[in-house]
Structures are given as C-alpha cells and as structure tokens.
Amino acid sequence: QGLKPIVSTESPAPVFGTSKLASDLPATDSFLSNNKVPDLQKIFQKADGLPVHLKRGVPDKLLYRTTMALTIGGTIYCLIALYMASQPRQQ
C-alpha cells in the first residue's frame, strides 16, 4: 500500500505568470503626446548666469530659501543643544 503523499503533486496555479497580450493593453498615445523634455532643455541650457537649481523661477527660489532657512535654523539649534549639554547641571 505505501504512504499517501502529504503534499499534493499537482502544481499550483501560477500567480505571477499571467500576462496580458499587447493588444489588450491600453494605447500609449496619451503618454507620448506631451513631451516636455525639449522645452526643459531650452530652459536649463540657456546661458543667463543662473545656477541650475534656480532656473525655473519663483518656485525654485522659494524651495531654495526654505531649505537654506531650515539648514541654518537646524545648525543653530544643534549648537545651542550642544552648549546646553556641555554645561554641568546645577544642584
């Protein structure tokens, strides 16, 4: 008689092996219709003396100044915290 197998010998249904045919996929024309790369290349390659991270105007300036303010504020906060930690506690 022998022993019955505990695990089934049939292969399970594939989970990741299913795929769609190319004809079933949506058309990619909507992705290809609006290419912004040439316009951005014109902006970034213009020789106007501005650094690359400020070429797109007001939003870039706002992000740059916010980042600099947070960096300077964080540095000052760390220096104050180090100074306070270096002082002995008074009893």
27-54 residue pLDDT tens: 555 566 788 888 888 988 888 888 888 8
Please say whether the structural domain 50-90 has been given the CATH code 3.90.550.10.
no
Q: How far apart are CA 39 and CA 59, in angstroms?
A: 17
Cβ atoms of residues 26 and 33 within 8 Å = no
How far CA 49 is from CA of 20, 46, 52, in Å, comes to 51, 8, 9
pLDDT-based confidence at residue 24 (cuts at 50, 70, 90): low
Q: How far apart are CA 72 and CA 80, in angstroms?
A: 12
Domain limits, the chain: 50-90
pTM above 0.75, yes or no: no
Cβ atoms of residues 55 and 44 within 8 Å = yes
